[in-house]
Amino acid sequence: MFIAGNWKMNGTVAEAEALAQALVDGLPEGAPATAVFPPALHLGAVGKVLEGSKIFMGGQDCSGAEKGAHTGDISVSMLADMGARGVIVGHSERRTDHGESDADVLAKVKAGLSAGLGVVLCVGETLEERDSGRAEAVVREQLGGSLPTDFPAGSVVIAYEPVWAIGTGKVATLSDIAAMHGMIRSWLQDNRPEIAKTFILYGGSVKASNAAEIFATDEVGGALVGGASLKSDDFLGIIAAAM
Ligand code: 13P
C-alpha cells in the first residue's frame, strides 16, 4: 500500500512544519509507504522536518521543460534539489485550472522520470463523462496520452481520482472503484507492461472512516488524499486503515 497526502494550496510554512512533525511523531511502526506533497514553497522546510524519517516528500506539479524562460514554473531538478523524491502530475485541478492536456502531462511525466523522481500520474473522469457512460474511455485515453512507452520499472504510480469525488464528500461506489481499477490494471498489462504491477491509488474524499473499505477493494493499492491529509490525526487514521 502507498498512502499519499496532497496538501494542495494550503497553510503557512509553520503549519506545514507542524503537520510534518506530527506525522513523523505519529507514524506507526510497520506503516505502509507514506508520502506528503506540500506546496512548493514549503518543500525546504518540510524536507528538514522529514529528514531521517520514513516519510517521502514530493512536489504537486512540475514543468515539462528542463529549464529556462518559463516564468513561475518549477523544474524537476529544482524539486529534487529541495529534497523532493516524487511529483504529482496531471491532477484534475491542474488540467482544469491550467488547461493541461495529456501531451503536457506526458512531458511532465518524462521530466519527472528523467530526474529520478517517482511520478504519481492522476487520471479521472468528470461527472458528465461518467453520466454519459464514457468514464473508462476517458481514463484509457488519459493513460495512453500521458504515459511514455519507455521508463524504468516501478517509477510511476497511477492515481484514479474521479473529478466529481474530489473535495465534495462524494466517494465513488466500491464497485465503480473496483471496475475502474481493474480496467486500469488490465490496460497497463496490455499497454505498459513495465509498470503493470504498480500501485493504483484511489483519490476523492478519502477519510479515516471510509478508508478501510476502499483499501479492501480489488486493485486498490492505497490513496491520494486531499482534505483529510491536512490534519495529522485524520491522515494517520487513513494510514492505520491500510495496515
Ligand atoms: P480530497 O481528498 O480533498 O477529495 O482530494 C483528493 C485529491 O484531489 C487528492 O489529490
**Is residue 29 annotated as part of the catalytic site, yes or no?**
no
3-state secondary structure of 82: coil
Identify the CA nearest to 187 among candidates 176, 195, 177: 195
**Ligand 1 atom nearest to 159, measured from its CA:** 10
pLDDT in tens, 85-111: 999 999 999 999 999 999 999 999 999
**Ligand 1 atom nearest to 166, measured from its CA:** 4
Assess whether pLDDT exceeds 70 at residue 27.
Answer: yes
- Regarding whether 211 and 171 lie in a shared domain, the answer is yes
CATH number, domain at 158?
Answer: 3.20.20.70
**Is residue 161 annotated as part of the catalytic site, yes or no?**
yes
Between CA 61 and CA 103 the distance in angstroms is 15
pLDDT in tens, 32-61: 999 999 999 999 999 999 999 999 999 999
The pLDDT, as a whole number, for residue 9 is 98
The pLDDT, as a whole number, for residue 153 is 62
Looking at this protein, which amino acid is placed at residue 216? Answer: A
pTM passes above 0.85: yes
- Regarding whether 205 and 99 lie in a shared domain, the answer is yes
Q: Can you give the residue range of the structural domain that contains 40?
A: 1-58
pLDDT over 90 for what percent of the chain? 95
- Regarding whether 131 and 38 lie in a shared domain, the answer is no
- Regarding whether 102 and 22 lie in a shared domain, the answer is no
HSE at residue 170, side-chain half, CA atoms within 13 A, is: 11
How many angstroms separate the alpha carbon of residue 90 from the centre of ligand 1?
13
Question: For residue 198, how far is the Cα from the chain centroid?
Answer: 13
- Regarding whether 107 and 187 lie in a shared domain, the answer is yes
- Regarding whether 40 and 83 lie in a shared domain, the answer is no
- Regarding whether 152 and 197 lie in a shared domain, the answer is yes
Identify the CA nearest to 225 among candidates 17, 51, 8, 45: 8
pLDDT in tens, 132-179: 999 999 999 999 999 999 876 668 999 999 999 998 888 889 999 999
Whether the CB of 166 sits within 6 Å of ligand 1:
yes
Number of domains in the chain: 2
Whether the CB of 226 sits within 6 Å of ligand 1:
yes
How many angstroms separate the alpha carbon of residue 223 from the centre of ligand 1?
9
- Regarding whether 128 and 213 lie in a shared domain, the answer is yes
- Regarding whether 213 and 108 lie in a shared domain, the answer is yes
- Regarding whether 159 and 212 lie in a shared domain, the answer is yes
- Regarding whether 54 and 77 lie in a shared domain, the answer is no
